[in-house]
């Protein structure tokens, strides 16, 4: 039986043998978007580049085909810790895999090489440095390697966020092994970076596959930074006993934050590049093995972390690029369960990053590379725009990577859950700001303009005579932070330009004059004082995050889950592997939800393949059985269809979609389906649209009033139904995208 693929676009024929391998070793019955297509290219021996967000199931795309082919696939990985975790995980699934790196003794390396020559290894992990040695290349030629998988492939690109010079030599693979196919895998890559990866690796007519960058199970919030310690503590207080990462911009910030948290009784450990390698490894192992749950770190921490149950990522300052932010927040919720991503932002963060970068360049002793600096500054500007409360966070991230975001409200960020409000008198405030920019001859930056508007009595203002301007003190009732935030929003909205890298200044543009002449509206946002205080003291946790948590825990006996988690920890400690390599949280929650009455029932649970059923099935069933009998818990609740791989929200959406379809078939309202599935209105309206496409004879009167239906239909006759935006604009924005989506789906299906 072929897998049930989540999207029609991914309907690629998959050999029965491959499906059998995935079920046997990983315990999955369905594939996630693009996995089938990616595996097909590996099996066919065609070069490829796969871009999927963290937790999207990239690894399976080269692991499963290696078992089908029956020879050795070489996996290039940048970190020893990452290799070890992947090898341990594969062995736990019954897959023959080894790593060859400097952590092994000479005897271990020789034994590994003999296993490769004997043909008993399916996946061989090595670093790019080892791949450059003549002896290793000779070994690979001796066994006739036909496939190379390049993990973290963005490291080869100068335009990427984590360039590593040692990756450049991987461009020789196609010359040294002309009969082998090369496959790149990465979680974050813009169009420019994707093209550069393909060029640097010398890929021949590669199949380039880019998945959806959205992570719907992540709740994004950007909060003004007031008191970094108290705000950090409140985030941790929302996640007692759960794993999280706190990112700081500087090493000293890491040390001070970790010490402060320890003083609060939290077992937080620091991690940064200034520590000894052995100490960094110790921290990595403590976190991976769930001996500690909180790591305070610089960006040096993370690439080798495969722990799937990280429930929050807190940035105490702005990351230096959206790529870094996507990669770092992507470490949360890899199991597809709910996770929170909080960014504490200050306008000074960009200035600090510029100083750090310039100091690093100066200390390197190398000539200044202006192209490099321009690239860094451009990334900082993009990140600043993301932090401004202008556009839905999920939409901003998806569109940054060149994709369209479906729906108007993600239901999973601070802007879409109502944590900020439209600023009263925004047009008046905007005109005062723009007028001030004009009166200082468009020669100053945000901070100085804000200081003039609030009437600050500073030497720079007095010396330049700016205290005599008509705009001086015009907005004195507002704080410097508020004014800087609103000026930044005007930049993000394109209503004023910010020019220059090191010391950016404000310049008026055509849109600026349209605002000042009342020809254009400025829509600014603010966080009410009470709500801002709530965000700072932890009361501002979004309702969407709570709903997501409720859905993921629905039907789960929490005490049973904790009992199983304790057993997992004991078994992991006995085997010397991270607990998530035994079973992920998603598997334990499913066990605690279904509560099988017989041992065989465990084999139907997501994430339990043959090897894990054989190794752990009996002991986990006995623990479950004893707890259920002692507490008289019900048994044999029907398990939901198994999601694939790491069980992300996108993978689990199949069962949620079916639930929504069944409810709509019974006449449920959109609000009722939203409550039942825990999904946002935009997502549920897509469920309804899909249902109407499948059953076009259904009347839509229960969901869209006849008058609105007719208006959309009339507009569609004029502008077509290929895209929703022209219809939305033709109706002057008076009909929501959700209603348009439903009507268009019905029109397309019924031929109306």
Tell me: pLDDT of 679 over 70.
no
pLDDT at residue 648 greater than cutoff 80: no
Q: Among 44-58, 103-117, 248-262, 356-370, name the one with the lowest average pLDDT.
A: 356-370
CB of 32 within 8 A of CB of 57? yes
Q: What is the pLDDT of residue 206?
A: 92
Neighbour tally for 261: CB within 10 Å: 21
Q: Hey, which residues does 100 pair with through a beta bridge? A: 126
Distance of CA 543 to the CA centre of its chain: 20
Q: Residue 735's pLDDT band (boundaries 50, 70, 90)?
A: confident
The distance of Cα 376 from the centroid of its chain, to the nearest Å, equals 21
Query: Given this model, what pLDDT does residue 440 score?
Result: 95
- What's the mean pLDDT in 90-119? 90
β-pair partners for 740: none
Cβ 76 vs Cβ 151: under 8 Å: yes
Least confident of 298-307, 335-344, 545-554, 583-592: 545-554
Instruction: Pick the range with the lowest mean pLDDT from 91-95, 541-545, 727-731.
Output: 541-545
Residue 72, CA distances (Å) to 75, 82, 124, 488 in order: 10, 19, 7, 53
Residue 657's pLDDT band (cuts 50, 70, 90): low
- The CA angle 447-321-253, to the nearest 5 degrees, is 70
DSSP collapsed to 3 states, 480-537: HHHHHHHHHHHHHCCCCEEECCCCCEEECCHHHHHHHCCCCCCCCEECCHHHHHHHHH
Q: Give CA–CA dist 599/316, Å, rounded.
A: 46
Q: Which residues contact 675 (CB under 8 A, 6 or more apart)?
A: none
Higher pLDDT pick, 659 / 103: 103
CA–CA dist 339, 663 (Å, integer): 27
pLDDT for 469 equals 94
Listed range (19-33, 395-409, 677-691) with the worst mean pLDDT:
677-691
- Residues near 70 by beta carbon (within 8 Å), at least 6 away in sequence: 122
3-class secondary structure, 74: strand
d(CA 662, CA 312): 33
Question: What is the rounded CA–CA span in Å between residue 216 and residue 686?
Answer: 14
Query: In the chain, where are the structural domains located?
Result: 8-210, 218-400, 421-526, 554-631, 649-750
pLDDT for the residue numbered 528:
66
Higher pLDDT, 745 or 643: 745
pLDDT tens digit sequence for 351-360 = 888 888 888 8
Taking only the tens place, the pLDDT of each residue in 19-75 is 888 888 888 877 777 888 899 999 999 999 999 877 778 899 999 999 998 899 999
| Per-residue pLDDT, 76 | 93
pLDDT at 160 over 90: no
| 526-550 mean pLDDT | 51
Using a pLDDT cut of 90, give the percent of the chain over it. 35
| Res. 538: pLDDT tops 60 | no
Task: For residue 307, give the nearest of 577, 576, 24 by alpha carbon.
Answer: 577
* 207 burial via Cβ count (<10 Å: 0-12, 13-18, 19+): middle
Instruction: For CA atoms 185, 191, 195, 200, give the dihedral sign.
Output: negative
User: For residue 335, is pLDDT > 90?
Assistant: no
Average pLDDT over residues 639-662: 48
**Distance in angstroms (rounded) separating the CA atoms of residues 16 and 26:** 15
Instruction: Assign domain 554-631 one CATH number from 3.40.190.10, 3.40.30.160, 1.10.150.80, 3.50.50.60.
Output: 1.10.150.80
549 pLDDT band (50/70/90 cuts)? low
Q: Which of 583, 658, 657 is nearest to 620 (CA)?
A: 583
CA angle, corner 384, sides to 378 and 389, nearest 5? 145
Model confidence band, residue 529 (pLDDT cutoffs 50, 70, 90): low
pLDDT tens digits for range 272-317 = 988 898 898 888 888 888 888 999 998 877 666 778 889 999 999 9
pLDDT at residue 668, as a whole number: 80
- Which CATH architecture is the domain 218-400 placed in? 3-Layer(aba) Sandwich (3.40)
pLDDT computed for residue 363 by the predictor? 80
User: Higher model confidence: residue 603 or residue 636?
Assistant: 603
Return the CATH number of the domain spanning residue range 8-210: 3.40.50.300
What's residue 639's pLDDT?
A: 47
Q: In sequence order, what are the residues at sequence separation of 6 or more whose Cβ sits closer than 8 angstroms to the Cβ of residue 180?
A: 145, 146, 147, 148, 173, 174
Q: What is the pLDDT of residue 88?
A: 86
Biggest alpha carbon–alpha carbon distance for the chain: 85
Same fold, 8-210 and 218-400: yes
pLDDT of residue 7: 35
> For 446-464, what is the mean pLDDT?
93
CA 22: distance to chain centroid?
25
pLDDT for position 542: 45
**Concatenated DSSP letters of 650-666:** HHHHHHHHHHHHHHHHT
Beta strands in 260-396 (DSSP E): 268-271, 294-297, 310-315, 339-345
Beta strand pairing call for 218-224 and 181-186: unpaired
Beta-bridged to residue 124, according to DSSP, are: 74, 98
* In this structure, CATH architecture of domain 421-526: Orthogonal Bundle (1.10)
Mean pLDDT of 621-627: 92
Other C-beta atoms lying within 10 Å of the C-beta of residue 484: 22
Residue 456: per-residue pLDDT: 93
Entry pTM: 0.68
What pLDDT is attached to residue 651?
34
Rounded to whole angstroms, the Cα distance separating 606 from 55 reads: 16
pLDDT confidence bin for 675, thresholds 50/70/90? low
Residue-wise pLDDT for 562-603, tens only, equals 999 999 989 988 888 888 889 989 899 989 988 998 898 898
Lowest mean pLDDT among 4-8, 230-234, 507-511, 538-542: 4-8
Return the sign of the alpha-carbon dihedral for residues 656, 661, 667, 670: positive
Output the pLDDT for position 548: 56
Average pLDDT (173-177) is: 93
* Per-residue model confidence (pLDDT) at position 303: 60
Q: Considering only CA atoms, which of 141, 131, 3 is closest in space to residue 64? A: 3
- Report the pLDDT value the prediction gives residue 539, as an integer from 0 to 100: 42
How does residue 624 score in pLDDT terms, banded at 50, 70 and 90?
Answer: very high
Mean pLDDT of 372-401: 88
Query: Tell me, what DSSP letter sits at residue 336?
Result: S
Mean pLDDT of 148-161: 83
């Amino acid at each position: 039986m072929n897998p049930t693929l989540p999207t029609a676009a991914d309907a690629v024929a998959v050999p029965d043998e491959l499906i059998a391998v995935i079920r046997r070793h990983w315990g999955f019955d369905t594939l996630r978007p693009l996995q089938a297509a990616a595996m097909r290219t590996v099996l066919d021996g065609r070069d490829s580049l796969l871009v999927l967000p963290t937790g999207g199931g990239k690894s399976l795309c080269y692991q499963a085909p290696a078992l089908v082919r029956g020879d050795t696939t070489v996996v290039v990985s940048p970190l020893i810790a990452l290799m070890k975790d992947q090898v341990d995980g594969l062995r736990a699934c019954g897959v023959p895999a080894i790593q060859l790196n400097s952590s092994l003794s000479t005897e271990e390396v020789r034994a590994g090489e003999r296993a490769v020559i004997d043909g008993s290894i399916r996946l061989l992990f090595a670093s790019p440095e080892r791949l450059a040695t003549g002896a290793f290349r000779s070994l690979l030629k001796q066994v006739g390697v036909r496939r190379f998988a390049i993990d973290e492939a963005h490291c080869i690109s100068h335009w990427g966020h984590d360039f590593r010079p040692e990756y450049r030599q991987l461009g020789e693979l196609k010359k040294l092994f002309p009969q082998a196919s090369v496959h790149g895998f990465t979680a974050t890559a813009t169009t420019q970076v994707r093209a550069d990866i393909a060029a640097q690796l010398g890929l021949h007519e590669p199949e380039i596959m880019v998945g959806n960058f959205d992570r719907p199970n992540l709740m994004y919030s950007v909060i003004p930074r007031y008191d970094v310690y108290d705000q950090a503590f409140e985030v941790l207080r929302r996640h007692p006993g759960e794993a999280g990462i706190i990112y700081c911009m500087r090493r000293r910030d890491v040390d001070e934050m970790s010490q402060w948290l320890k003083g609060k009784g939290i077992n937080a450990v620091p991690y940064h590049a200034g520590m000894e390698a052995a100490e960094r490894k110790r921290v990595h192992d403590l976190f991976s093995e769930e001996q500690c749950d909180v790591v305070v770190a610089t960006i040096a921490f993370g690439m080798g972390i495969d722990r799937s149950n990280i429930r929050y990522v807190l940035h105490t300052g702005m990351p230096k690029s959206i790529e870094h932010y996507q990669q770092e927040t992507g470490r949360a919720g890899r199991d597809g369960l709910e996770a929170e991503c909080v960014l504490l932002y200050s306008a000074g963060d960009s200035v600090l990053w510029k100083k750090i970068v310039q100091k690093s360049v100066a200390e390197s002793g190398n000539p200044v590379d202006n192209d490099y600096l321009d690239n860094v500054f451009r990334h900082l500007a993009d990140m600043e725009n993301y932090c401004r409360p202008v556009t839905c966070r999920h939409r901003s991230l998806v569109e940054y990577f060149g994709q369209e975001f479906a729906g108007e409200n993600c239901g999973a960020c601070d802007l879409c859950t109502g944590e900020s409000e439209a600023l009263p008198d925004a047009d008046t405030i905007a005109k005062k700001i723009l007028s001030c920019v004009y009166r200082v001859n468009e020669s100053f930056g945000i901070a100085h303009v804000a200081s003039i508007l609030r009437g600050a009595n500073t030497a720079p203002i007095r010396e330049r005579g700016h205290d005599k301007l008509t705009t001086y003190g015009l907005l004195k009732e507002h704080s410097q932070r508020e004014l800087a935030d609103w000026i930044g929003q005007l930049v993000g909205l394109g209503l004023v330009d910010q020019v220059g890298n090191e010391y950016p200044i404000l310049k008026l543009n055509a849109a600026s004059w349209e605002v000042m002449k009342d020809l254009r509206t400025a829509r600014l946002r603010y966080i009410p004082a009470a709500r801002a205080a709530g965000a700072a003291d932890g009361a501002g946790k979004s309702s969407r995050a709570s709903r997501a948590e409720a859905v993921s825990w629905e039907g789960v006996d929490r005490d049973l889950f904790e009992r199983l988690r304790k057993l997992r920890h004991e078994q992991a400690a006995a085997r010397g592997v991270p607990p998530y390599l035994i079973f992920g949280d998603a598997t334990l929650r499913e066990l605690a939800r279904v509560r099988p009455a017989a041992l065989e029932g465990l084999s139907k649970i997501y994430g339990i393949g043959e090897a894990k059923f054989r190794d752990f099935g009996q002991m986990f069933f006995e623990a479950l059985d004893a707890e259920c009998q002692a507490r008289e818990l019900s048994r044999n609740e029907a398990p939901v269809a198994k999601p694939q791989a790491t069980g992300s929200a996108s993978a689990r959406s199949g069962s949620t979609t079916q639930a929504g379809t069944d409810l709509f078939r019974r006449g449920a309202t959109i609000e009722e389906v939203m409550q039942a599935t825990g999904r946002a209105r935009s997502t549920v309206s897509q469920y309804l649209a899909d249902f109407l496409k499948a059953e076009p004879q259904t009347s839509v009167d229960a969901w869209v009033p006849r008058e609105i239906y007719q208006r959309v239909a009339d507009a569609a006759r004029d502008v077509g139904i290929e895209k929703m935006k022209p219809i939305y604009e033709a109706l002057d924005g008076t009909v929501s995208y959700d209603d348009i989506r439903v009507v268009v789906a019905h029109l397309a299906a019924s031929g109306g």
